């Protein structure tokens, strides 16, 4: 009798252990899947410009030539803003070094910092850090998530503005671009 009870108990234990093993296995598979997804498949593309200006100045930006540095500031009303933007409408993407060649300047006479995004077909393919007045941009890194092949595209600059306190302005600018992508 006791032998039969022992066997029954053993069987129950085995069933519990099997169930626990299956549960742990499922947990392991789930955690591996989440890890793989977050490492390789998660879309980290920024689509919105930040609400506050990035602290860091865009590392690819350089000061404008000295003759532009003495320009008088634009007038700006209290609580308002004023900017000047200088650019060319053609940008070239080099897929081999994942860089964009462009011409964009936040002239010295501006009163706001800028964040410049390059959009192609509704997706951000490049985004600057803070571009203060008196800085120009000739190259910019392509985002890892940019999925482009060689050819011509219609794109746009989206420019957001930030005051001295880093607060984002309620005005922004969009500029259509011609984007040439080469290998």
Nearer to other proteins, 11 or 73 (CB): 73
Positions that interact with other proteins (CB under 8 A): 74-89, 107, 168-176
Q: How far is the CB of 122 from other proteins (least distance, A)?
A: 15
d(CA 180, CA 149) in angstroms, rounded, equals 10
**Distance of closest approach, residue 88 Cβ to other proteins, in angstroms:** 7
The nearer residue to other proteins, 59 or 63, going by C-beta atoms, is 63
Least Å distance, CB 86 to other proteins, is: 5
Q: Which residue, 83 or 116, is less far from other proteins as judged by CB?
A: 83
Comparing CB distances to other proteins, the nearer of 142 and 177 is 177
Q: Is the Cβ of residue 45 or residue 76 nearer to other proteins in the bound state?
A: 76
- Give the burial string for 100-125 (b: 16+ CB within 10 Å, else e): bebebbbbbbbbbbbbbbbbbeebbb
Residue found under tokens 């000739």: 138
Q: Give the per-residue SS3 of 95-136.
A: CCCCEEEEEEEECCCCCCEEEEEEEECCEEEEECCEECCCEE
State the minimum distance, in angstroms, from the CB of residue 64 to other proteins.
Answer: 12
Tell the smallest beta-carbon distance from residue 110 to other proteins (Å): 9
């Amino acid at each position: 009798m006791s032998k039969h009870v022992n066997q029954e108990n053993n069987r129950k234990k085995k069933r519990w252990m099997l169930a626990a093993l299956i549960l742990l296995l499922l947990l392991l598979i789930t955690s591996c899947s989440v890890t793989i997804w977050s490492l390789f498949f998660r879309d980290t593309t920024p689509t919105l410009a930040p609400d506050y200006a990035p602290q860091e100045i865009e590392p690819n930006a350089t000061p404008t030539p000295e003759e532009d540095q003495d320009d008088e500031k634009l007038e700006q009303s209290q609580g308002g803003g004023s900017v000047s933007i200088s650019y060319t409408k053609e940008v070239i993407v080099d897929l081999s070094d994942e860089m964009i060649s462009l011409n964009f300047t936040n002239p010295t006479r501006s009163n706001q910092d800028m964040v410049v995004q390059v959009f192609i077909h509704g997706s951000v393919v490049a985004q600057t850090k803070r571009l203060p007045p008196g800085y120009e941009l000739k190259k910019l890194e392509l985002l890892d998530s940019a999925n482009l092949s060689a050819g011509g595209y219609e794109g746009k600059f989206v420019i957001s503005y930030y005051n001295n306190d880093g607060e984002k302005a309620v005005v922004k600018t969009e500029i259509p671009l011609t984007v040439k992508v080469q290998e």
